[in-house]
Structure 1
C-alpha cells in the first residue's frame, strides 16, 4: 500500500529544485563547520592576548586548560542541546516552521561572538563562551532538520548522494575556516609587522591582533544571512504534510509547485497508512521495529565524533609538535595564526574535502553500509600506525602529514558522512527528525569527550600523550566498525519501505540485507533442519 504523492517523489527525475535544496541546506552546514572550527585557528592567539606570561619558561602565553576547553567545547554542548530541541520540534511543528530559526541564531551569535567585550580577560572569555553556546544551539538544529528535509525531498535513486552533498558542505566550511584565517592574519601581518616572541615578548603580540580574531569569528555570519530568504520560501516536505498533518491534497499541491511531477492526492489511503503508524518513539512497537537501528546510529556517531573532533581540535598542538608549524616562541602571534591556519587549510583541502565528495559520488554505487565499514577500519589502521610509530614520524613531517591526512580522508569517505545519512533514512516520518537528533546528539557527546578529554590530555603537546591518544582513537574507531553491524543498507529503497510505513504489518523488524543474503546461501536441506530443531 503506497501513496501516489510519495511514490511520485521517489520516482521523480532529478531536477533543479533538488540541487537548490542541496545548496540551501548545505549552506547551513558550511556555516556550522566554519563556526565550530574557526576557533581552533585563533585559540592560541587568544592565549597570547588575554593570558600573557613572560617568565623563565621562554614560552608565549596560552589559555589556561579550563578556559581553552570552555572556549572550544562550549559550542559543542550548545550543539547537542540544539539538536535535541529542534529535532523534537521538527517532528511536532514541522520541518519548515523551525528551519529559519536556526539560521537567525547562527547569524546573531556569530556577530556577537566577535563583539565579545569586557574589562578583564575573564569577562571577555565568559562573554565569548556565552555566545558560542547559543551559536552551537543554532548549529545543532541544522543537523536533524537539513538531513530530514533533504531525505524527504529526494528520489530514492539519488537520495543518499543528495544528503551526503548537504553534509559535504561541511568540508567547504572547514577549508574556508583555514583560508579566511590565513588571509586575515596575513593582511594584519603586512599592516602590523611584529618581532618574534624571543626577540620581544611584549611587542610580538600587537594590539591590532585583538581585531583579527573577532573578524574571523564574525565572517561566519555571512553565509547564514545569505541563505535565510531561500529557506523561508521552501514549502513543507510532502511527507510531513501527508503522513503527519494528514493532508494529501496539500502535499500534492506543495510538491507540484516546486517539482515538475504529476501527483494525485489519495486521502483514503492516507488514513489507512496513518492508522498503521501511530506508534510513538518510546513504544514497544518502535523498539521492535527500529530499536536496533537507533542503537546502531547513536553508538557509531558517538564513537566517530570522539576521533573526528579530537583530530580537528588538537591539530594546532600536533602541528607544532611534529614541525609542520614552527615553535610558538620563534614567531609573532599573528604569524602563529597564519602558519596554523595554513596547515589546517592544506590538510582540509587535500584530505578532508576529497573524502566528502568521494562519498557523494560512490554512496549510491557502493552503499552506505560498506563505506562506513571501510572508513572506520581505515581510520583505525592509519591511527594505529601514527600512534605506534609517532617518534619516527615526528622527524618525517611530510610522511606524517600524509598519514594524518588519510585519517581525515577515510573519516569523510566513511562514517563522518554515513552516520549523518543513515538516521535520515532508517526511521519513520513521525519520529525521523527526533531520531536523527538523538543520533546527532550522541555524536556531539563524543565531540564533548574529545574537547574536554582528549584535547585536555594532549594540550601540552607531550609526545607520549599524543601517541597514547592516537592509539586510543584507533581503538574507538575499531569499536565503531563492529557497532556498524547494527545498522542496515538503505540504498535504492523508498523511505516508507525502509521504515515499514507502507505496510503497517508483517514488518516488525527490518532485516539487514547483508544478513539476509548470508542466510540465502544456506542449503535448503540445512535450513530446514535448522528450522525444525
Structure 2
C-alpha cells in the first residue's frame, strides 16, 4: 500500500488549526491531571469533616481507604486504555474522542455529588465514580496524542504532542491553587478562632471538597463542542478506512495543504486492518 500521498500532511506548514488542536486535546489532559491530583487535598478535607480528631490532630481518612479512593481512578485508566484504543482503531478516533471527554466531565460532577453524608457512603461513592473517571482518562490520554500527531507535520510533531501533554502540569498546578482558594474562602466565611474550618469544620464545609472536584471540568466543557466538531484524522480515513476522497475533504476542512499530493495515494480494496498482527506475535 503506497502512502506517499500523506507527504502533504507531513510537510504542511504550522497552521492555526495545529494550535486549535493543542487546545482541544490539551483541555482534556488538563482535566485529566486536575481530576487525578485534586483528590489528594480532597482526602484531607474529607478526613477533617467525617473523621474525629485523634491525639490532638485533625481527623484523617484511614490509609487503606485513602489508597482505595486514589487508586480506583488508576484502575479505571487501564480499562479505558484498552477499551478506547481498540474502539479508536476500529470505528474511528473522532467517534470515541468526544465520548471520553463526556465520561470525564460526568464522572467528575458525580464525584462532587457523591451520595450520603457519612464517611462510608462518601468513600464508596467516590471510589465508584472515580473508577469511571479513570476509564475516560485512560481513553483520553492515548487518543489525544495520536490525534495530535496525525494532524501534525513531521518537523513539529514532537513539539506539538509535547505541548498537548504539557497541559497536565497546568492541571496539577491549578488543582492545588483551587484547593487553597476554596478552603480559604470557606475559612474566611466562618468565625475566626476555634470555630474556623480547621480542625473542626462546620457542616457547610462539606461543600468545599465537592466544589474543588467539579471546578476542573469547566475548561473541558467549553471544548466539548469543538472536540465533537473536529473531523476524523485524514490518515485514519485514508489508510484504515480506505476512503481517499473523504480524507482529502477532511484534510482541507482544517488545513491549507496541496491536495494534488494527497491524490498520489493508491488504496487497495482491502483495509490496512486486514494486515494487522498481534501485540504478542513474533512479527511485533
Structure 1 match to 2:102: 104
Contact 1:195-1:204 at 8 Å conserved across structures: no
**Structure 1 residues 61 and 6, CA, compared in 2 at 3 Å: closer, same or farther?**
same
Q: Is the 8 A contact 1:105 1:138 kept in 2?
A: yes
- Of structures 1 and 2, the larger Rg is shown by 1
Q: 1:175 aligns with which of 169, 173, 177?
A: 173
For residue 267 of structure 2, the aligned residue among 266, 270, 288 is: 270
Counterpart-to-counterpart distance in 2, 1:272 and 1:133: 41
Q: CA deviation at 1:166?
A: 0.4
Say whether residues 1:250 and 2:246 are aligned partners: yes
Please give the secondary structure, in 2, of the residue aligned with 1:133. Answer: helix
Gapped regions of structure 1 (runs ≥ 5): 288-533
Report the equivalent of 1:90.
Answer: 88
Q: CA deviation at 1:185?
A: 1.1
* CA spacing shift, 1:195–1:69, aligned 2, 3 Å: farther
Q: Does 1:226 align with 2:222?
A: yes
Distance in 2, matches of 1:140 and 1:225, equals 18
Residue by residue over 1:212-232, the C-alpha shift from the partner in whole angstroms, topping out at 9 and shown as x without a partner, is: 111000112212211110011
1:236 aligns with 2:228: no
Other-structure match for 1:420: none
Query: For 1:256 and 1:159, how far apart are their aligned partners in 2?
Result: 19
- Seen in structure 2, the aligned counterparts of structure 1 residues 273 and 154 have a Cα distance that, compared at 3 Å, is farther
Q: Secondary structure at the match of 2:17?
A: helix
Asked whether the 8 Å contact 1:192–1:208 carries over to 2, the reply is no
Alignment-derived partner of residue 29 in structure 2: 29
CA offset at residue 148 of structure 1? 0.6
TM-score between both structures, scaled by the size of structure 2: 0.92
Structure 1 counterpart of 2:120: 122
What is the number of equivalent residue pairs in this alignment?
Answer: 283
Which contiguous aligned blocks of 4+ residues in structure 1 show a shift greater than 3 angstroms? 1-5, 193-196, 199-203, 264-268, 272-277, 282-286
Identify the match of residue 139 of structure 1 among 131, 137, 140: 137
**Offset of residue 205 of structure 1:** 2.1
Q: Deviations over 1:239-278 (max 9, x none)?
A: 1101110111211111012100112354872329966981
Cα drift, residue 109 of structure 1: 1.1
Q: Is the 8 A contact 1:194 1:204 kept in 2?
A: no
Aligned partners of 2:192 and 2:100: how far apart in 1? 40
Partner Cα distance (2:197, 2:174) in 1? 30
What does 1:367-406 correspond to in 2, within 5 Å?
none
SS at match of 2:203: coil
The answer (yes or no) to whether the contact 1:100–1:228 under 8 Å persists in 2 is yes
Contact 1:47 1:61 in 2 (8 A): yes
Offset from partner CA, 1:371-400 (integer Å, 9 cap, x none): xxxxxxxxxxxxxxxxxxxxxxxxxxxxxx
Structure 1 CA distance, aligned partners of 2:27 and 2:236?
Answer: 23
- Cα gap change, 1:277/1:164 in structure 2, threshold over 3 Å: closer, same or farther? farther
1:307-346 paired onto structure 2 within 5 Å? none
TM-superposition CA deviations, 1:121-162 (whole Å, max 9, x none): 101111111111111111111011111101111000000000
1:14 alignment partner in structure 2:
14
Query: Which whole-Å CA distance do the structure 2 matches of 1:155 and 1:4 have between them?
Result: 14
Q: Matches of 1:97 and 1:235 in 2, distance apart?
A: 10
CA contact (8 A) 1:279 1:286 kept: no
Structure 2 segments unaligned to the other structure (5+ residues)? none
In the aligned structure 2, how far is the partner of 1:85 from the partner of 1:260?
34
| Aligned position for 1:160 | 158
Partners of 1:276 and 1:82 in 2: CA distance: 21
Check the 8 A contact 1:9/1:153 in 2, yes or no: yes
> Closer, same or farther in 2 for the Cα pair 1:200/1:243, shift >3 Å?
closer
CA deviations on 1:181-238 (whole Å, 9 max, x unpaired) are: 1111111111114546xx9999632222211111000112212211110011111111
| Larger relative contact order (CA 8 Å, sep ≥ 6) | 2
**Relative to 1, partners in 2 of residues 1:275 and 1:109: Cα closer, same or farther, differing over 3 Å?**
closer
Relative to the length of structure 1, the TM-score reads: 0.50
Q: Distance in 1 between matches of 2:130 and 2:91?
A: 26
Offset at residue 8 of structure 1 (A): 0.2
CA–CA distance in 1 between the matches of 2:196 and 2:23?
Answer: 48
Q: 1:84 to 1:61 in 2, by over 3 A?
A: same
